[in-house]
Amino acid sequence: MGHGEKGRPNKKHKSSAKEDHRIIVEDEDAYYGEEVDDDNRDGEKKRDFTKLELKPDHANRPLWACADGRIFLETFSPLYKQAYDFLIAIAEPVCRPESMHEYNLTPHSLYAAVSVGLETETIIAVLNKLSKTKLPKEMIDFIHASTANYGKVKLVLKKNRYFVESPFPEASDYVLKKLLKDEAISKARINAEVSNGSDGFTISKAKGEIGTGHEDLLSGAEVAAAAEEKETHAFEVDPAQVENVKQRCLPNALNYPMLEEYDFRNDTVNPDLDMELKPHAQPRPYQEKSLSKMFGNGRARSGIIVLPCGAGKSLVGVSAACRIKKSCLCLATNAVSVDQWAFQFRLWSTIREDQICRFTSDSKERFRGNAGVVVTTYNMVAFGGKRSEESEKIIEEIRNREWGLLLMDEVHVVPAHMFRKVISITKSHCKLGLTATLVREDERITDLNFLIGPKLYEANWLDLVKGGFIANVQCAEVWCPMTKEFFAEYLKKENSKKKQALYVMNPNKFRACEFLIRFHEQQRGDKIIVFADNLFALTEYAMKLRKPMIYGATSHVERTKILEAFKTSKEVNTVFLSKVGDNSIDIPEANVIIQISSHAGSRRQEAQRLGRILRAKGKLQDRMAGGKEEYNAFFYSLVSTDTQEMYYSTKRQQFLIDQGYSFKVITSLPPSDTGADLSYHSLQDQLALLSKVLSAGDDAVGLEQLEEDADDIALHKARRFMGSMSAMSGANGMVYMEYSTGRKMQGQLKGKPKDPAKRHHLFKRRFT
Amino acid sequence: MPEVKIIAKNFMDMVASLPAMKLDKLYDNAFICEAILRSLPPLAKKYVLQMLYIDSPITAKSMEVWVLPDGSSKHRVAIDRLIQLRVFTETVDRRKETTYKINPTFQTNLQKLLTHGEVLPREPMPSNITVRLPSVEELDVYAIGQWECFLLQLISSAQAERPSNISSSMMKVFQRGLLSQRDKEAPRLTDSGFQFLLMDTNAQLWYIIREYISNSEERGVDPADLISFLLELSFHVTGEAYNSNTLTEVQRNTVKDLTDLGLVKLQQGRKESWFIPTKLATNLSVSLTDSSSRKQGFVVVETNFRLYAYSTSKLHCEILRLFSRVEYQLPNLIVGAITKESLYNAFENGITADQANILLQLTPELYSQIISFLQQNAHPRVAERIPTVPENVTDQIRLWESDLNRVEMNPAHYYDEFPSREIFEAACDHAREWNGLLWEDSKRMRLVVKAEIHIHMRDHLRGQKQ
């Protein structure tokens, strides 16, 4: 029984922690072998916990907890909100659709829980209170085992000196001594004069945890115990060795992971920065919540906050900086987003113009006074080569300064070695990482855990959609059958390097894309972004359709110009982006994405691209559940059927599906009655396109490679190609020229009257 | 394997299919007469009552006068049914005139019923003898429990928790058509077995009872006796106790079997023993499409193809396992995922190689059956949501289904090793002429033609040789 050359893989669900940590092979050819043994593994994965004892009032309790760490949460339980807040603090969300959420307890998630101030017994008590069954013994043991050592040691930066601190009396001397037995740590210790017999530990007092938010689930006594003032003991370590010490303390070594906290209120050494949030900047409830996790005990914790794109990450960042009120170093991924961050600081806070500066290759500003905000890119800081005299000076300043807050944007894209470098160069009291998608195809998320800190908060996408905070996106996967001729070439062995170009240039896909652009431009008046990873396809599509495009080689000035036109001009409604547009280019106007090619099975890219249109538009009440417009943004992923794309596509969607998004499959685009209205209708045109694809050099049809994109290189191994020089330089200016002629054409098309009855017809005519 | 069609026709069809002798014997029993009367279409009921006190035959012509012209089709249906059940006997006399006469036994019994009123088949036992009678709820739980246990045993005997009275040979009879077993392999569900499990309880019960009756002769039991007893049983009152002494030997054995199916519950007192009919028994002769007795739904399907079933039943778990991958079993929750593999596996499991060709025709039914199973059993939480099963999931299931249909099967013949290129090309041309060329590979001189032109090709090639 045949179902096409390659069966469409299922919407597979990752269901065990083990599998989640499996490295995802990005090598295209390795997939087919992998698929086969998937089933065998699945066979063993069934887990029988029917023997767990149900509590008599189980119907009123919201969750089940399994011995292997999996937790199921009913979202319709009256206790859902409390349970959700609690679970998100102690466990890793696996999937969060409408009625039932799944979470995994992992050592890292528990580490995060402890670091926001939850104690082992609290975790177990609350979990037990919420669980329908008696807690499995394995889970209790697991929590004990994982958290026994967590939260016992803190790394504190005081007066430019690093201290390893431990609370007294329950652990301190014992733990600190144990740490000092480690060679690397004892070497790193400074001022170790054992004079008065007390091991020379510094003694001080610290406030206990307040406001963890789970008091309502606990008795008063338990809360009181947590809020008591505690005495701490500490020893100092060499700043140069901090990274080493931290690493020695990780779960895979001494297993006393260190928490980093910054007592900024009592920091008298570093000058204050006079900045407040402007009155109009009112953090939304979930932003408030994420900040409360960060500043839970009056100090600032290092860690990562995960919010969907468009949910207002920058406001969280700016608010954090305003609370700490010390110098802040803000790192972004590229020059465009540096501009955007600087803008956000000015927009939301009362910071003076001369206290904020940008440091990029194009603009080398310096702030006046003794405290301020510097916005720069990771590359600028980590750059190892020779710098200009001017930037050398600025870098020196950055190096010598003690930063109150190191604000890091899009932490998921920056490779670990870059972080290490950045963190070793800059001395900061508190590190805050911001991201939308804490998934990495290379599974290096664990690195972030100790380089920056644990995940402090992660928002639920679906809740934000329901609350109207982000756009409600209709996701669709458009199936474009390969034309006979393209498919025949696709199957040929000698074309193995052109496979991608062949399925991206599939005339049916082109027609579907053209149709969608027309539909959204003319009938809904939408703003459209078309994404293509494949440079050859990007140029072909953009030129044929006469639309502007931006890719790696497009200069900063030109990018800004195109984006400005897209934002303001009524004539420019569609822009073609290569993967430079994946992250942090803020295009709030866009509400439609059409994806014609993408980077293999990258879940993160899919989520990031979706993020481009998540910024909520229109009136709040229309967007809320039950509002006027059910969907106000559209995400189309065009895939050529029976090709590798189908496989990748399902893989890519996994993250979004786990967040509760669903992909509709559309099989009938463009509608069969469009005929010659769209390009490549005649066989002749199609064949001409085919020969163009085939005659292009292998290197020309490959993927675009971006210089700063180092972590992707690791993923793609030998399968990546540089775009050819001719395509890069030649096409550049040409496309931008052609876009003015395109304007005329669009003007004519615009004249057609809108037919309101045709709205959303895309979603009505499926299966017809 | 013979093709098993699962048709949940009603009990009376079974009665109607009995031979004349048996049927006449059946009417000795007054309850059966009443049950038959109840089951008749309205017009047929009227005819029976009209003719109840007429002893002489009535001509077909005079009966036709009773109906308006536009009622003639209903008339036909009524008469056919009455003749089928031998309530009426039809005679054609010498003048070729058709007359109808009511079955005398049936007539007498029904007359008695009219004048003396209804008599119960047996009196319930007084409550001072029976103790600890189960409540209605307890009895329902018992009945469902027994039935599910039976089903589990049916689909895989290893799963059953309790040994049952049903002999393995009888189990084999039930499994016939639902399971297929190849030597040394574990039995697997067939296509029909698959459909069977997704049906609702009443339909399943009817299927089993039908098998039970049609197999009765092999066990030395008269099917008429059995039908009569089962009908009798449906006149008993749910939850009342009836003395086992009133049963014949055959009936007593039958009751034991019915206990395993959950139709009755047996209890033993100090001296006496009695049986208590459950609602499964009393519902047996009522309309099978009645869905008022629908159980509360328990399945939640999410947009990410995860499936959560609020159930403690092992049977549910087995049913879900048919088309999904069960990942977690909790005390009152089953967690699974619907995947393409899990769906395809289900069909491949159920269908043996020689049936592969009918797979294509059968699967659409199965797919929609899975979807309707999910919809009908939707948990109250999501039942009011529209659609109950997320659209993208049902769409995807249909797309997976249509994926199977993309392949069209054509019987064909393959030719290779042509002695020369001329002969190969001539053969291609010939096949083209007959409009039967499916594929050719001129490089290696191979071709495939439709099976129906094979004979022409053969003739052609023979001609070439000479």
DSSP string covering B90-151, please?
EEE-TT--EEEEE-HHHHHHHHHHHHH----SSPPPPTTT--SPPPHHHHHHHHHHHHHHHH
C-alpha angle A259-A261-A264 in degrees, rounded to nearest 5: 175
State the amino acid at position A500 in one-letter form: Q
* Long-range contacts from B252-259, C-beta under 8 angstroms, 24+ separation: B253/B221, B254/B221, B254/B226, B254/B229, B256/B165, B257/B165, B257/B166, B257/B170, B257/B212, B258/B233, B259/B146, B259/B165
Distance in Å, alpha carbon of B325 to nearest chain A alpha carbon:
8
Helix (H) or strand (E) holding B310: none
Share of chain A above pLDDT 90, in %: 5
Least CB-CB distance to B326: which of A9, A46, A665?
Answer: A46
Report the C-alpha gap between A304 and A432 in whole angstroms.
6
Tracing tokens 């009056």 back to the chain, one arrives at: A298
pLDDT at residue A708 in the model: 43
Domain ranges of chain B: 11-116, 136-282, 299-404, 412-465
Any CB–CB contact under 8 A between A47 and chain B? yes
> In this predicted structure, what is the pLDDT of residue A446?
65
Of A164, A161, A233, A235, give the one whose Cα is nearest residue A204.
Answer: A233
Alpha-helix runs per DSSP H in B296-409: 314-323, 340-350, 356-376, 380-383, 391-405
Report yes or no: B329 and A49 within 8 Å, Cβ to Cβ.
yes
Residues of B in contact with A53 (CB under 8 A): 331
The answer to whether residue A39 neighbours chain B at the CB level (below 8 Å) is yes
pLDDT beyond 70 at A267: yes
Q: What is the pLDDT of residue B18?
A: 76
Lay out the sheet containing A63-65: strands in order across: A63-65, A70-74, A100-104, A92-95
Q: Which of A288-292, A536-540, B233-237 has the lowest mean pLDDT?
A: B233-237
Which residue(s) pair with A102 in the sheet? A72, A95
B93 vs B100: CA distance, rounded Å: 11
Banded pLDDT at A526 (limits 50, 70, 90): confident
**Average pLDDT of chain B?**
78
Residue of chain A minimizing CA distance to B379 = A99
- Burial class from Cβ neighbours inside 10 Å (0-12, 13-18, 19+) for residue B101 reads middle
Mutation to test the A interface, candidates B304, B313, B359, B406, most A Cβ within 10 Å: B304
pLDDT band at residue A71 under the 50/70/90 scheme: very high
In this complex, do B342 and A9 lie within 8 Å of one another by their Cβ atoms?
Answer: no
Cβ distance of A98 and B326 shorter than 8 Å: no
Nearest Cα neighbor of B346 from B154, B197, B185 is B197
Rounded alpha-carbon distances, angstroms, from residue A499 to A6, A506, A644, A719, A728: 14, 11, 9, 12, 21
Task: Measure the CA–CA gap between A500 and A644, rounded to whole angstroms.
Answer: 8
Give one word for A410, left, alpha or beta, with left for phi > 0 and alpha for psi -120 to 50.
left
pLDDT at A191: 65
Contact B101/A at CB under 8 A: no
Tell me the three-class secondary structure of A102-126, residue by residue.
Answer: EEECCHHHHHHHHHCCCCHHHHHHH
d(CA A228, CA A223): 9
> What φ, ψ does residue A28 adopt, rounded to 5°?
-60, -40
Range from A147-151, A497-501, B144-148 carrying the lowest mean pLDDT:
A147-151
Q: Worst-scoring range by mean pLDDT, B55-59, B306-310, B315-319? A: B315-319
Give just the sign of the alpha carbon dihedral B305, B308, B314, B315.
Answer: negative
Give chain A positions within 8 Å (CB) of B340.
7-10
Q: Which one of B330, B356, B403 has the shortest CB-CB distance to A3?
A: B403
The answer to whether the CB of A348 falls within 8 A of the CB of A278 is: yes
Q: Any bridge partners for residue A367, and if so which? A: none
A80/B310 Cα distance (integer angstroms): 18
Other C-beta atoms lying within 10 Å of the C-beta of residue A194: 8
Q: How many other CB atoms are found less than 10 A from the CB of residue A33?
A: 9
Q: Which of residues 673-702 of A touch B (CB under 8 A)?
A: none
Confidence of residue B140 (pLDDT cuts 50, 70, 90): confident
Q: Once rounded to an integer, what is the mean pLDDT over residues A79-95?
A: 88
Nearest residue on chain B to A64, alpha-carbon basis? B330
B300–A100 CB contact, under 8 Å = yes
Whether A28 contacts chain B with CB within 8 A: no
Portion 276-315 of B in contact with A at CB < 8 A: 300, 302-306, 308, 312
Q: Contact A97/B302, CB-based, under 8 Å?
A: yes
Q: What does the alpha-carbon distance between residue B437 and residue B430 come to, in Å, rounded to a whole number?
A: 9
Is pLDDT of A21 > 50? no
A572 and A739 Cβ atoms separated by less than 8 Å: yes
A45 → chain B, closest CA residue: B327
pTM exceeding 0.90: no
Strand stretches in A207-249, DSSP E: 230-237
The predicted pLDDT at position A73 comes to 93
Closest CA to A111 of A303, A242, A239: A303
Contacts of B312 in chain A (CB under 8 A): 50
A contacts of B308 (beta carbons < 8 Å): 72, 99-100
Closest alpha carbon to B35 in B106, B116, B89, B115: B106
Out of A3, A66, A76, name the one closest to residue B406 (CB).
A3
A51 contacts B306? CB cut-off 8 A: no
* B311: its two tokens: 């159930």
Is residue A58 less than 8 Å (CB to CB) from chain B?
A: yes
The alpha carbon of residue B251 is apart from the nearest alpha carbon of chain A, in Å, by: 39
Q: Is A37 on the interface with B (CB under 8 A)?
A: no
pLDDT-derived band of residue A103, with 50, 70 and 90 as boundaries?
Answer: very high
More confident of the two residues B33 and A40: B33
B429 at A interface, C-beta within 8 A: no
Q: What is the pLDDT of residue A170?
A: 58
- CA A53 to CA A47: how far, in whole Å? 16
If one counts every other C-beta atom within 10 angstroms of the C-beta of residue B108, the result is 14
Other beta carbons less than 10 A from residue B330's beta carbon: 24
For domain B412-465, the CATH class is alpha beta
Compute the C-alpha angle B295/B300/B306, nearest 5°: 145
Q: List CB contacts of B122: < 8 A, sequence separation 6 or more.
A: B236, B242, B243, B246
- Asked if A100 and B306 come within 8 Å (Cβ–Cβ), the reply is yes
- B/e letters for B237-270, b = 16+ CB within 10 Å, e = fewer, are ebbbbbbbeebeebbeebbebbbbbbbbbebeee
Contact indicator for A587, A560 with CB cutoff of 8 Å:
no
* β strands within A211-323, DSSP E: 230-237, 258-262, 300-301, 303-306
Which chain B residues are Cβ-neighbours of A97 within 8 angstroms? 302-304, 306
Q: Mind listing the pLDDT tens digit for each residue in B75-86?
A: 888 888 888 888
Report the DSSP beta bridge partners of residue B337: B306, B325
Find tokens 């949460």 and name the residue: A73
- The dihedral sign for the CA sequence A18, A20, A23, A25: positive
CATH 1.20.1530 fits B11-116, yes or no: no
Q: Which residues of B touch A72 (CB under 8 A)?
A: 308, 328, 330, 333, 335
Residue A702 distance to chain B (closest CA, Å): 31
Residues B121-135 pLDDT 10s: 777 777 777 777 888
Closest chain B C-alpha to A358 CA, distance in angstroms: 43
Residue A703 pLDDT: 57
- Top pLDDT among B276 and A45 is at B276
In degrees and rounded to multiples of 5, residue B429 shows phi and psi of -60, -45
ipTM higher than the 0.85 cut: no
- Structure token digits, residue A73: 């949460």
Taking one residue from A and the other from B, the number of pairs with CB-CB distance under 8 angstroms is: 125
Give residue A748's Cα distance to chain centre. 41
Sheet holding B325-330, edge to edge: A47-48, B325-330, B333-337, B306-309, B299-301
Beta strands A663-666 and A528-531: pairing type?
Answer: unpaired
CA neighbours closer than 13 Å in the CB half-sphere of residue A716: 19
Residue A102: the pLDDT is 92
Strand B325-330 to A47-48 pairing: parallel
- Given pLDDT bands bounded at 50, 70 and 90, which one contains residue A216? low
A461 shares contact with chain B (CB less than 8 Å)? no
Burial string for A373-397 (b: 16+ CB within 10 Å, else e) reads bbbbbbbbbbeeeeeeeebeebbee
Candidates B338, B304, B333; CA nearest to B321 is B338
The reply to whether A491 touches chain B by the CB within 8 Å rule is no
Once rounded to an integer, what is the mean pLDDT over residues A475-482?
Answer: 89
* A252 CA to centre of own chain: 26
Residue B282: Cβ within 10 Å count: 17
Cα(A542)–Cα(A737) distance, rounded to whole angstroms? Answer: 12
pLDDT at B270: 77
Q: Select the more confidently predicted residue: A228 or A183.
A: A183
Answer yes or no: do B303 and A52 touch at CB < 8 A: no
Q: Could you say which of B356, B382, B392 has the minimum Cβ distance to residue A99?
A: B382
In this predicted structure, which of A124-133, A233-242, A402-411 has the lowest mean pLDDT? A233-242
Tell me if the bond preceding A283 is cis, omega within 30° of 0: no
CB A614 within 8 A of CB A470: yes
Bridge-based pairing of strands B412-415 and B446-450 is: antiparallel
A334-348 pLDDT, tens per residue? 887 888 888 889 888
Please, which residues 120-149 of chain A have a Cβ atom closer than 8 Å to chain B?
132-133
Q: Is A285 on the interface with B (CB under 8 A)?
A: no
Express each pLDDT in A610-630 by its tens digit: 888 887 665 555 544 445 556
Banded model confidence at residue A316, pLDDT cuts 50, 70, 90? very high
Using CB atoms, pick whichever of B302, B312, B332 lies closest to residue A99. Answer: B302
Q: Does B326 touch chain A (CB under 8 A)?
A: yes
CB atoms within 10 A of CB A583: 25
Which of B159, B296, B298, B302 should one mutate to test binding to chain A, selecting the residue with the greatest count of A CBs within 10 A? Answer: B302
Tell me the nearest-neighbour CA distance from B346 into chain A, angstroms: 13
Selecting from A7, A100, A664 the residue whose C-beta is nearest the C-beta of B395 gives A664
Q: Does B396 touch chain A (CB under 8 A)?
A: yes
Q: Does the CB of A663 have a partner CB in chain B at under 8 Å?
A: yes
Is B410 touching A (CB cutoff 8 A)? Answer: no
Q: What's the gap in Å between the CA of A9 and the closest CA on chain B?
A: 7
Concatenating the DSSP letter of every residue in A469-517 gives: SB--EEEEEEEEPPPHHHHHHHH-GGGGGGHHHHHHS-HHHHHHHHHHH
Q: Does any CB of chain B come closer than 8 Å to the CB of residue A672?
A: no
- Tell me the nearest-neighbour CA distance from A11 into chain B, angstroms: 6
Compute the distance between CA of residue A454 and CA of residue A448 in angstroms, rounded to an integer: 8
d(CA A126, CA A84): 12
Among residues B352, B358, B310, which one has the least CA distance to residue B334? B310
Inter-CA distances, A541 with A230, A551, A574, Å: 65, 13, 12
